Amino acid sequence: MDDYPLLNLFLTMLYLFLWVMWFFLLFKVVTDLFRDHTLNGWAKAGWLIFVILLPYLGVLIYLIVRGRSMHERDAKAVKDSEAAFRQYVREAAGTTGGGSGGSDHVNDLAKLAELKDKGALNEDEYERAKAKLLA
């Protein structure tokens, strides 16, 4: 261990961290390229070649040029996923509830949850209203 000073160990760890971080950013950029429907095939191919041939510069320029829209696509994907999950839960709860009565309770519970999420109801009000619906 004497022939490998502490500074060299620190630099090795720093290089490893930067290398892993670059791979993370590269995968993020490539997945964003294929998720984006506003670019045509040639533009996607151009960005991909640029990112592969000039790796660090390509990723950096991609983040500068398309970073804001990249964030918007990520936010939209999360929002769509959450909406699909909520819809699935509503449908699953409605089919196991046994008829339209169960479906009405599910809709009322969903409305209560939305009011709570928006801040119109606090936790106590939400729990009382939920208990009243389920009684």
**Same-domain status, 59 and 112:** no
**Same-domain status, 47 and 67:** yes
Query: Tokens in use for 122?
Result: 């606090």
**Same-domain status, 126 and 64:** no
Domain that holds residue 124: 102-134
**Same-domain status, 86 and 118:** no
Tens digit of each residue's pLDDT (9 = 90 or more) over 91-101: 877 654 444 45
Q: In this structure, which long-range contacts are made by residues 104-111, counting pairs with CB atoms below 8 Å and at least 24 apart in sequence?
A: 105/133, 105/134, 108/133, 109/133, 110/86
Its pTM stands at: 0.54
Distance (Å, whole) CA 58 – CA 63: 9
Inform me whether the pLDDT recorded for 17 exceeds 90: yes
Q: What pLDDT score was predicted for residue 110?
A: 84
Q: What pLDDT score was predicted for residue 108?
A: 80
Tens digit of each residue's pLDDT (9 = 90 or more) over 29-73: 999 998 888 889 899 999 999 998 998 899 899 989 988 888 888
**Same-domain status, 29 and 46:** yes
Q: What pLDDT score was predicted for residue 98?
A: 46
Q: What pLDDT score was predicted for residue 64?
A: 92
Three-state secondary structure readout of the chain = CCCCCHHHHHHHHHHHHHHHHHHHHHHHHHHHHHHCCCCCHHHHHHHHHHHHHCHHHHHHHHHHHHHHHHHHHHHHHHHHHHHHHHHHHHHHHHHHCCCHHHHHHHHHHHHHHHHHHHCCCCHHHHHHHHHHHHC
**Number of structural domains found in the chain:** 2
Inform me whether the pLDDT recorded for 16 exceeds 80: yes
Q: What pLDDT score was predicted for residue 103?
A: 61
- Mean pLDDT for the stretch of residues 73-88: 89
